[in-house]
Amino acid sequence: MNGPDWQIGRILGIPIKVHVSWFLIFGFVTWSLATGYLPDMLPGLFVGRYWLMAGVAALLLFGSVLLHELGHSLVARRYRIPIGQITLFVFGGIAQMHREPPGPRAEFLIAIAGPIVSFVLGGLLLGMATMAHVGQGLVALGILLGSVNLQLGLFNLIPGFPLDGGRVLRAGLWAWSGDFNRATRQAALAGQGFGIALAGVGATVMVGAGTGAIAGSLAANGGWIILIGAFLFTAARASRRQAAIRAALATVTVEEVMVRNVATLHPNLTVEEAVTQHFLPQGYGGYPVWDERGLVGMVTVQDVQALAKSLWPRRRVGDIVEPWSEDMEVSPKTPVLTALDRMFSTGRSRLAVMQDGLLMGLVTRSGISRFLQLRGLPR
């Protein structure tokens, strides 16, 4: 997802972020509630009160989306899948999982957890709203939140990847064929089909509103349906490409894509010397740091940039190096997909390739990208 996002907190250790596009949908939902739903349900209130209630309702609606994504995340954690963050954006929310599920059962349970949370919330809220003896405002809010949660659960069960229903479909196809990448491609193809269908429905609604066949106020709804269909189509197409990449790399090992002639930096080298003698003339984004004891760690362009330029002549590479850890290295026979998953889960762009205590090379994201490009595959 392109564009900036901001962290607003943590829940159970998972960073919660809002994407810049979230503010657009938050404003639209608030406006539509303040000018439509609330005046219809609660006539006779002051305009300012409608807007205040609408803002609170919009926040609670996105709270429901957050709970939906937490449902996915908690089940994923049960299978030891790291969750990088949960991001709220214009089309709802997404939990960033750093690893694919270990099997079809895990995929099914992770996928279905979100809709189950939405259905339970929707049922509870609607039940409380119909039975509670409280003010009209709370009843209207309960009906709104309950209805939206039920709709959220139902929409996500559309059997098109990457929606939850598409992940359920992938789990079934995966269990049937035993081929994860093939199942992903098939479920993503279904997602593209549903994306086209949604866009078609949205266009029909807009044309009907424009010709007077249906209420003109529904034109905006048609526009949102088109946008949702386009988003689903684009996300499904990206998933098909990712499946093609994983299939192409399924039998490739690290030694086939690694950079073999690797320069190393000594920890006593000044940062200025590292920049002028290595980073600038050689153009690499990072280097292993090596001394008489062996691998000390890794230093990257980002580590250099984090240090004020005035300090470069006085600080050593050893002062800014990321210390060595076991997840910083792989063996030459490691599958590329394993190395790539580790890079994504740790946020690194390169890993040292080690064998019997010797540095054999580096495997990098850019190197894997070149490997795919030379074979005519998407990067």
Name the helix (H) or strand (E) containing 7: strand 5-11
Q: Name the residue with tokens 């899948």.
A: 81
pLDDT greater at residue 49 or residue 377: 49
pLDDT of residue 134: 54
Helix 47-78 × helix 104-131 angle, to 10°: 150
Please state the φ and ψ torsions of residue 7, each to the nearest 5 degrees.
-80, 130
Among residues 69, 107, 255, 329, the one annotated as catalytic is: 69
Q: Specify the pLDDT at position 224.
A: 80
Lowest-pLDDT range, 32-36, 272-276, 321-325?
32-36
Q: What's the CA angle centered on 329, arms 107 and 303, to 5 degrees?
A: 100
- % of the chain with per-residue pLDDT over 90: 43
Contact 290, 359 (CB under 8 A): yes
Active site includes 69? yes
Residue 306, φ and ψ in degrees, nearest 5: -70, -15
Residue pLDDT, tens place only, 108-164: 999 999 999 999 999 998 888 777 655 576 777 888 889 989 999 999 999 999 899
* Predicted local distance difference test score (pLDDT) of residue 17: 92
pLDDT in tens, 268-307: 999 999 999 999 998 888 899 988 888 888 999 999 999 9
Q: What is the pLDDT of residues 60-105, one digit of tens each?
A: 999 999 999 999 999 999 998 888 889 988 778 888 887 889 999 9
- Cα–Cα distance for residue pair 36/23, rounded to 1 Å: 20
Domain layout of the chain by residue ranges? 5-249, 254-374
Q: Comparing 52-61, 245-254, 272-281, which segment has the lowest mean pLDDT?
A: 245-254
Residues 285/369, Cβ–Cβ less than 8 Å: no
Question: Average pLDDT of the chain?
Answer: 88
Residue 229 pLDDT greater than 70, yes or no: yes
pLDDT higher than 70, residue 219: no
Alpha carbon distance 377, 344 (integer Å):
20
> At the top level of CATH, which class does the domain 254-374 belong to?
alpha beta
From the list 375, 336, 191, 154, the residue with the least C-alpha distance to 252 is: 336
Q: Taking 90 as the threshold, does the pLDDT of residue 375 lie above it?
A: no
